[in-house]
Structure 1
Amino acid sequence: MKKLVKSSYFAIIMLFIYIPVVIMVIFSFNSGDTVFNFVHFSGKAYDDFVHNSPFVKSIITSLFVAVVSTLISLIIGVAAAIGLSKCKPLSQKAWFGIANVPLINADVVTAVSLMIIFLLAGMKFGIGTLLFAHISFNVPYVLITVMPRLRKVDPSILEAAQDLGSKPYQILWKVVLPILKPAIITAGAIAFSMSFDDFIISYFTGGSQTNVSTFIYTAKKIKPFIYAFGTLLVAVIIFAILVWNVFQTIKNKNKKTEEELRQGDYKTPQFDRYYKKLNQEYLILNTKKVMHHSWRIDLWIRYWWIKLLIKVYLLKNYGKRISRLEWKQYEIRNEIRNEKRYYSRLEKTKKAIVKVRKDLKKKSNDSKKKQRLKNQLIRLLDRKKELEAEIEWMENRDEKAARHAARIQRQIDRWVKEFEQGKQEKTLSKKDLVWYKKKIKGLEQWKLEVEEGKNHYRLRKTTKKLNELRDLKSNKIEALSTRLEVLNAQLYLWKDITDDYDKTINQSQGQLEIVMLQAYRNHHLEATLSKVEVKILHLEKKVTHLQTKVDRKAVKVLNLDSQGNNRPKVKNWWQKSWKTLGVFVIALGAFSGLTVAYVKNNIYDLVVANWGEYIDPELINKFQKTTGYKINYQTFDANETLYNKLYTFTYDLMVPSDYMVQKLADENKLSLVDWSKLNIQKPTQVISNYLDDTIKVPSDEATKEVINSSLTTLMSKSVVKETDETTGEQYNILDYAIPYFWGDLTLVFNQNNPKLNNFLTSYGLTVDDNNQVQPKNSSLDWQIIKAAGQAGLNVQLNNDPKNIFMIGAEILYGRTNLKTNSEVDQAYSYLRDLIKDKHISLAEGDSLITTVEEGQFDIALMYNGDALFSQLNRDLKKLPTDFAYGRVKADALTSPLAGVGTINQRTNVYSDNMVIAKDAHHKQAAYDFINFIYNAKNATANSSYVGLASPLDSVLTDLSNTSVDDDGFSEYKNLYQPIAVDASYYSGTEPLAFINNNEVDAYLVKKFNDLLTSINY
């Protein structure tokens, strides 16, 4: 078992590493749009990958940055290593330690430090800052890879080059760099891989540049095209490894061929085969006998069995075991020799002491030499004491061993006496007799070991075992070979060519018949011999042809002259340089192509910042083809990330959430929307039409797309600026933003658990035919979370600070937002007691989606779009539709806080919006892009791809219509559409969306972190 584990350990590790890669390759051929279920094999993911222009651009950026940073890092790192090698050891060690600090330092610290430096330097974040950052962390990797190799360079080689008249640059190019070539290649590979997949440093310093890691990290959902990219990357790596191995195999084969030609062993197996056949044919020709095979099956079975046994014995690890024993024998002999040398070393030490004492008397006037000799004398005296102590221990050991052997002999005599006495008196059982024999034998071996000495005993045993193993190997194979030869003679039989005719002639009686048979016999003999002669000629031609090929190969490879002597190989400039030139041309062409691709992809007319996977990539390609604009499409994963990036880069068009729109507008970072340039009706007119049916829409607006009136009403309540400094007007979100997607926070109920159904009934709730949770004799309020936890149900909550504190805000104050720090403290107190319930957990967005999709929950609080995504994936997996959904709506509840009074509870309704930056460079392109996205057909495709509600009424209608929708949204119409489409849901003056409040928001995040800490402790 132990041997099995040892032999399979490496295979287990390889499986552990490569199973995820294999799964990724399999899922790259998934025809579905998710990675959670495999529908059937298809190349759709690869088609999506090729046509996903933002992702392809990120790959080009990663390749360009990795190649450039690697080349520059190699130049700097190799030069630094050569420079450090010339420093004093102490300085070299200090500088090398300083250079390694970035390797030890955390990536996030390095990233923030570089970002601060670039900000202080006033640099524009982009390709320049990204390259500087990558070079800064690549150089140490080059240094630590090249430096050890440089330390192994023999100084005598450099001195020899100098003695031969080489100049410093010649020594560098022709001596140092060729020696360092393997280390430089390794360093380049490490630097390239580190740069290509770097995320943290690129994230902070990239500015407008998005590499592969940043794109994947900021993606809202992992799509199969990312698996396709991973598969292609693995394929490229495997292809590179195969090409390299083929190159090395060819190179090694050429070396082997040259060596065989020098030794005369080239094509020896083929020559042997030909000569073996020739010998057989000559034997037939000379003896006039042919070989026949025996038809005895039993002999053939024995023959092949013995051949198999010979192979088995040859494969057995005798050689390895013999080598181990030989090494053990060598070590033991060395120990024995060292013990014998102690006496000679002691004599030499005594002579050296006498000599030093004589020198001391002669150098009595020279104080320095006298002191040096005194130190030497002290060392020799110490050495003498050590040797004498060792010899004394060895002599005492021998005396002790003799006494010990005598004691063992007395024990042996006593046990032998007891054994003989018991044997004579027959008082010992068979088991006792065996025990006595074993005991006496063990004592005799112990006595031998003591008498001989441990090392001598070990040497004798090892030598004996080694000889036995050698004899076993040779005798077994020799015996089997002898048996094989005997069987060979029985299986391969020789008989005369005319043997059959001779037997017939001997049995014939008629003279005429005998004469005819003799004629046939002679004819058969001549025909057979003629065939043999033809075969011999044919084989001799083959031998001659093969020898000619070998001679030509030898002339070509060994550069032989007409007399067969080696000529010095003189290569012209092309023969010397064609490999280097070829590599240089290929590398230059590849780099030029990469540079052109990068430059083309970075000449753009519009810069867009959007959430990851928040747009159908096909729409980007379609927009670029239709309008001729080039888009620099950037992604982010949080509103705060977008806000921070605005310090380092300017976007034309962004898609922040509602509260971030307020923050940006309040800081004067957004332009007012010119609705006259858009193919969307102006929201104020929509509101008027929604409030008063008598107001008519102007004719020029009649053909424009209409934003959902409920969404417009909700957004208009979010004030951005109380009064503008220049105009004195009051603005809301709709003056700065165009709704892009919207949704709400939804409660999802897993009806698989009967306990949950009983809980809903006891809470006064019921589930209708549309899987909507409806009040039966009460309302659906936020207190249900606490009640569910107390009932032992598994409750999962979206782990977002604002969403979590919204629960407390709604329960305590009946509104979505907290306005003061004291209100945050009150909500914190309530939430701390709530979250401490072991049945209530917080989960990240993607983790929550997976948890809900797999049904590992009872109640979950999540965005309606995420809930829809989980439900559609369950449908693809053909899992039962057993989820129910509900939005909180409770009127006239009493707040737990004294003095607050009666409150109404609702849920958060959010919107992500398109905004144009104040200092945007391409405003017209931004308006064109907005119009393109809000085209009814494009908006429908986009909403269907992302899975969130569109702000346009026409899209909401289409995706809710069974005859039009083909993505499953119509089946879950009430889940796809936010609850706010019902005008009766919204009441009061407080907005349902989150509002921006800088000081309170910062304090809320701090208390949220305290809340997480309170969960853990």
Structure 2
Amino acid sequence: MKKFFQSSYLAIIFLILYLPIAVLMVFSFNTGSSVRNIQGWGWSAYADLFSQTALWQSLSVTLLVAFISTFVAVIVGTFAALGLSRTSKLTRNMTLGITNIPLVNADIVTAVSLMLLFMAFAFNFGIVTLILAHISFNIPYVIITVMPKIKTINNEQLEASQDLGASSWYTLRKVVFPTLKPAIIAGAAIAFAMSFDDFIISYFTGGNSANLSTYIYSLKRIKPYINAFSTIIIIIIALIIISWNGYKVTKKQIHTRNERIMNETYRDKRIIKLEKNLNKNYLLLNKVKLSKRKSKKNILFRPISDAEEFYYINYYENLVNKNKNIVKKILSLEKKLNKEQVWVHQIKKRIITKKRISERHSRIRREKFRFLRWPWKLILVSFLVVGVFAGTLAFYIESNTYDLSVANWGEYISPEVLKGFEDEYDVKVKYTTYEDNETLYAKLATTDYDVMVPSDYMIAQLASEDRLLELDQSKLGDLELNTTLVEMMKNYKFSLTSGPEKGQEKDLSQYAIPYFWGDLVLVFNTVQNPNLLTELGVSDPTKVNWDILQTAVNQQKRIVLNNDMHNLFMLGLVTYHYQNQWDENTGTGAIKQEGNDFTDYVNAHSNKEIDDVAEWLKPIIHSPNTKIQSDEIVDTVAIPSNWDIAYMYNGDLLAAMSQDFANTNYTIARPYMGVNVWNDDMVISKRSKNQDLSYNFIKYILKHDVQIELSEEFGYTSPVQAVIDEVSQTHPGTNWENVYKPGATQIAPVDNSSKPAGYYNGLYRRGFDPYMQDQYNKLLARQGSNNITVLLIELAVVLIIIILFIVVMMWLR
């Protein structure tokens, strides 16, 4: 066992380090749409990778920012380190302490500070602010890398250079820079890697210029092509590292070999082996018997003297005639040995010739041609760097020259749709993604888009601030939208808080055209547990209410919830409104809403209602069996063994079902009390530079074939009625149609005569509510504190593993 650990513990460590990378590379060959479940093997992810325009745009931004910030940081950092080396110790220590603040400071603090600084100077957030931010945090890395190497410079060399009449620049170039070259290269590599990999600072300062990290973060659903891209990056980095190390090792070996050849001490393994075999055959020819141990020694023969030559000549002629096979072998070995010796001689001759040519060129440079004095190696490297930078810049310009700027949710449109629009109108679209409405709202403070796809409540907020264009319906024509959806949008009222029409009441349909819409569904995992409904006391799924979640908590069922604050608070609001918890509906309709009457919404009307709902949610959210997830809920629900009850968007459920229809035909329920029906809509910025093209983009997205492609790929419901009718029949024999059509029982309610007085079939309207957000954050914080026991157990396990590792290492010693 001890020998096993001694020989393999390093391999185990490398396995732990690189196993996640290996898993990622394996999943890059997954033909399915999930990043967790392998549905087949193939190259589809790699083929899909090259059609992702937004990904390549973000790569161009990443490379350009990394090159420029690294170049500037290396120059500034190197000369700053040189300057600090000449200052007093107190000044140097104080300056280094200030310089190192960005290194020890939290990235979030640095990011917010830079963002506020750029806002104070009214910078338009984009590629410029991104580059400036990266330069600011790259310079300290270069300084701390170069500074220790400066201390190794011999002052006597600097003084000797000055005594010989060298200028300061010549001394810097010929003495200082060669000494600092390894540190400068290391600092540049660190700066480039830090810039390429940065997320937090780029997120706060990038504006509409998204690098790779922010692009991947904003994706709604991570797809296998991200694994494929990561695999390619890993392979490129591995090849660069292996090639560079191979070059350094080979160069060192060649240098050592040349020195030994010139000193005539070179003994190649092939020459040593040939000499051993030759000596062995000489002994056989002379019939000298050696033991096995002696035969392995390198036996060298002295040359035959002149006095012995006549005596031995006849003797060896007889030996040759009697031992022809041995003689042939000797001749063959001598030929090979001679060939090796000729090769060594040629290498030596080549070294001498090269040295003479170098000396001649040096003399010519000094005497005749001044341009030959130039540092050609540095010039060639500079040309290479400039060439790479020029190529990156051209790639960036090509990727970021556009006619229309579109901001949308991550993974909400296919590259083929964007390419189709570009080809049809002969334009270039810059497509930017964001992960939530609040992020979009924050980005609009520093950047502009032409077309955006926010949610209903964010549209109301932006329109009320006079930041959206009121649409000209004549430019759009008859879009044949779902009438219920249009009615919902018309009944979403808000008042303008700024602009020339301040105080006027508007509705959502005046500013927005639907992109996707849907609702939330309650999913019962009857595939894994056919008796689940019976265990929960449910006889008819159409008569389920939201209290079923509390029943599931009491039975310790595994619950998965969508993490949106509005979706969770809606559960308690519709439940309490239905139960007339706050005496707001006595049956006479103090606040009227029944069925599809949109005169009011089941929102919170006071902080007390929010507090009561937070108490109602506590046992559900704080249950150790409850998971609150975002987009990863799709992959969770796609595996039946992971959960019992899920509360999620209907489109996310369809995405999970599409991975394996045979094993995901779950039981679906939409509680009759009410549900959150949402819609993400296309709007045009009031500061759009190309409004006509923006209208064309909206019309193109709503084309019949485009809507079918989008709806089938992403699972969300189309706003076009004809598409709804067609796509809902896509997968007969499954509950696809039931899930795909939003809130059928909520929007068009059944007979309510048997229902008690109060709210039912209520629709919740999302909106800004800071108090609700605060209560939601407290609920999540308590969820973490309730799981502190699990966390402590996990930390204890990790600590035990570390202690065992240390004990094993000591035992091995």
Give the TM-score, by structure 2 length: 0.83
Q: What residue number does 1:984 align with?
A: 748
Alpha-carbon distance in structure 1 between the residues aligned to 2:770 and 2:251: 65
Which digits, 9 at most, give the CA deviation of each residue in 1:90-138, with x for residues without a partner? 1111110110111111111111111111111011111110001000111
Residue equivalent to 2:17? 17
1:658–1:993 contact (8 Å) kept in structure 2:
no
Cα distance change of structure 1 residues 165 and 32 upon mapping to structure 2, 3 Å threshold: same
Q: Does 1:44 align with 2:44?
A: yes
* 1:796 CA drift (Å): 3.0
The residue aligned with 1:863 is 649
Instruction: State the Cα distance separating 1:787 from its structure 2 match.
Output: 2.6
Partner secondary structure for residue 985 of structure 1: coil
Q: Work out whether residues 36 and 873 of structure 1, in 8 Å CA contact, stay in contact via their aligned partners in 2.
A: no
Report the Cα offset of residue 797 of structure 1: 2.5
Contact 2:52–2:415 (CA under 8 A) maintained in structure 1 = yes
- Tell me, yes or no, if the aligned pair for 1:816 and 1:908 is still in contact at 8 Å: no
CA positional deviation for 1:994: 1.9
SS at match of 1:1004: helix
Matched, 1:557 2:351: yes
Within the candidate set 598, 614, 625, 2:396 is matched to 598
Structure 1 residues 542, 487: CA separation in 2 closer, same or farther (over 3 Å shift)? closer
Q: Tell me the equivalent position of 1:456.
A: none
Offset of 1:541 from its aligned partner? Answer: 5.3
Counterpart of 1:118, as a letter, is: F
Q: 1:956 aligns with which of 701, 720, 724?
A: 724
Q: Which has the larger radius of gyration?
A: 1
| Partner of residue 181, structure 2 | 181
- Aligned mates of 2:625, 2:25 — CA distance in 1: 37
1:283 and 1:526 mapped to 2: Cα distance?
13
Q: Deviations over 1:242-288 (max 9, x none)?
A: 22133223312321221221232446554455555666676777x6x
Distance (whole Å) between structure 2 residues aligned to residue 1009 and residue 65 of structure 1: 35
Aligned ranges 1:449-598 → 2 under 5 Å:
484-485=293-294, 543-559=337-353, 571=362, 577-598=375-396
* Cα distance in 1 between the residues matched to 2:326 and 2:267: 25
Cα contact 2:320–2:327 (8 A) shared by 1: no
The 1-side partners of 2:30 and 2:412 are apart by: 21
Give the aligned length. 727
**Aligned partner (choices 569, 572, 594) of residue 808 of structure 1:** 572
Give 2:533's match in structure 1, choosing from 746, 754, 757. Answer: 757
Q: Residues 145 and 535 (structure 1 numbering): CA distance in 2 closer, same or farther, change over 3 Å?
A: closer
Q: What residue number does 1:817 align with?
A: 603
In structure 2, the CA distance between the partners of 1:793 and 1:246, relative to structure 1 (3 Å rule), is closer
Query: Which has the bigger relative contact order, CA under 8 A and spacing at least 6?
Result: 2
Q: Is 1:974 aligned to 2:746, yes or no?
A: no
- The residue number in structure 2 matching 1:872 is 658
- 1:721 equivalent to 2:495? Answer yes
Deviation of 1:949 (Å): 0.9
Deviations 1:287-322 (A, max 9, x none): 6x799xxxxxxxxxxxxxxxxxxxxxxxxxxxxxxx
Matching residue of 2:120: 120
Uncovered stretches (5+) of structure 1, i.e. residues with no partner:
292-480, 489-522, 682-704, 767-772, 890-904
Letter in 2 for 1:820: S
Is the partner of 1:250 in helix, strand or coil?
A: helix
Partner of 2:156: 156
Relative to structure 1, the CA distance from residue 82 to residue 888 in structure 2 (aligned partners, 3 Å threshold; closer, same or farther) is same
Is 1:830 paired with 2:616? yes
Q: Are 1:910 and 2:685 counterparts?
A: no
Q: Which moved more, 1:534-543 or 1:216-225?
A: 534-543
Match of 2:427 among 613, 624, 629: 629
SS of residue paired to 2:50? helix
Residue 719 (structure 2) pairs with residue 933 (structure 1): no
Contact 2:670 2:745 in 1 (8 A): no
Give the alignment partner of residue 650 of structure 1, picking from 448, 451, 472: 448
| Matched ranges for 1:142-541 at <5 A | 142-266=142-266, 268-272=268-272, 484-485=293-294
Cα deviation digits, residues 361-410 of structure 1 (max 9, x gap)? xxxxxxxxxxxxxxxxxxxxxxxxxxxxxxxxxxxxxxxxxxxxxxxxxx
Q: Matched residues, percent identical? A: 38
Partners of 1:947 and 1:536 lie apart in 2 by 80
Once the two structures are TM-superposed, the CA of residue 1011 in structure 1 deviates from its matched residue by: 2.5
Structure 1 residue aligned with 2:517: 742
In structure 1, C-alpha distance between the alignment counterparts of 2:357 and 2:489, rounded to whole Å: 91
Specify the alignment match of 1:34 in structure 2. 34
Secondary structure at 1:913's aligned position in 2? strand
CA shift, 1:753, in A, is: 3.5
TM-score by length of 1: 0.67
CA deviations on 1:441-477 (whole Å, 9 max, x unpaired) are: xxxxxxxxxxxxxxxxxxxxxxxxxxxxxxxxxxxxx
Q: Distance in 1 between matches of 2:505 and 2:762?
A: 16
Is the aligned partner of 1:1010 residue 2:778?
yes
Say if 2:717 is the partner of 1:946. Answer: no
Take 1:284 and 1:666, find their aligned partners in 2: how far apart are those partners?
104
CA contact (8 A) 2:218 2:434 kept: yes
3-state SS of the aligned residue for 1:920?
A: coil
What is the deviation of 1:144?
Answer: 1.1
Q: 2:638 aligns with which of 853, 858, 867?
A: 853
Contact residue 215 and residue 635 of structure 1 kept, 8 A: yes
Matches of 1:249 and 1:19, distance apart in 2? 28
Are 1:959 and 1:970, in contact at CA under 8 Å, matched by a contact in 2?
A: no
Does the 8 Å contact 1:559/1:569 carry over to 2? Answer: no
Deviation at 1:665, TM superposition (A): 0.8
What is aligned with 1:324? none
1:662 match: 460
Deviation, 1:853, is 2.8
Unaligned runs of 5+ in 2: 298-316, 366-371, 579-600, 753-758, 787-813
Instruction: Give the letter for the 2:775 counterpart.
Output: K
2:558, 2:728 → 1: CA distance? 32
Q: 1:970 to 1:151 in 2, by over 3 A?
A: same
Deviation per residue, 1:57-107 (Å, 9 max, x gap): 101110110011000011111111111111111111111011011111111
| Cα 1:2–1:784 shift into 2, 3 Å | same
Q: Cα–Cα, structure 1 residues 980 and 738, in superposed 2: closer, same or farther, change >3 Å?
A: farther
Amino acid at match of 1:923: Q
**Residue 798 of structure 1: which of 562, 577, 594 is its match?**
562
- Using the TM superposition, give the Cα deviation of residue 718 of structure 1 relative to its aligned residue in structure 2, in angstroms: 0.8
User: Partners of 1:156 and 1:638 in 2: how far apart?
Assistant: 62
Structure 1 residue 1003: Cα displacement: 1.2
Measure how far apart 1:166 and its partner are.
2.4
SS at match of 2:777: helix
Change (3 A) 1:922 1:980: farther
Task: Tell me, yes or no, if the aligned pair for 2:34 and 2:635 is still in contact at 8 Å.
Answer: no
SS in 2 for 1:149: helix
Report the CA distance between 1:172 and its aligned residue: 1.7
1:749 counterpart letter in structure 2: F
Native 8 Å contact 1:142 1:191 kept in 2: yes
| Residues in 2 aligned to 1:886 and 1:65: alpha-carbon distance in whole angstroms | 50
Structure 2 residue 475 is matched with structure 1 residue 677 = yes
Between structures 1 and 2, the one with greater helix share: 1
* Amino acid paired to 1:871: M
Superposed CA RMSD: 3.2
CA offsets per residue over residues 478-517 of structure 1, 9 Å max, x none? xxx96745999xxxxxxxxxxxxxxxxxxxxxxxxxxxxx
- Secondary structure, aligned partner of 2:631: helix
Deviation readout 1:560-601 (Å, 9 max, x if unpaired): 99xxx9996754666985543433332222211111111122
1:1014 Cα deviation after fit: 4.0
Please state how far the C-alpha of 1:851 moved relative to its aligned partner: 3.3
Q: Which amino acid in the other structure matches residue 852 of structure 1? A: V
Query: For 1:819 and 1:15, how far apart are their aligned partners in 2?
Result: 56
Distance 1:888 1:870 in 2: 21
SS at match of 1:819: coil
Q: Deviations over 1:130-177 (max 9, x none)?
A: 001000111111111111111232333322322333222222222111
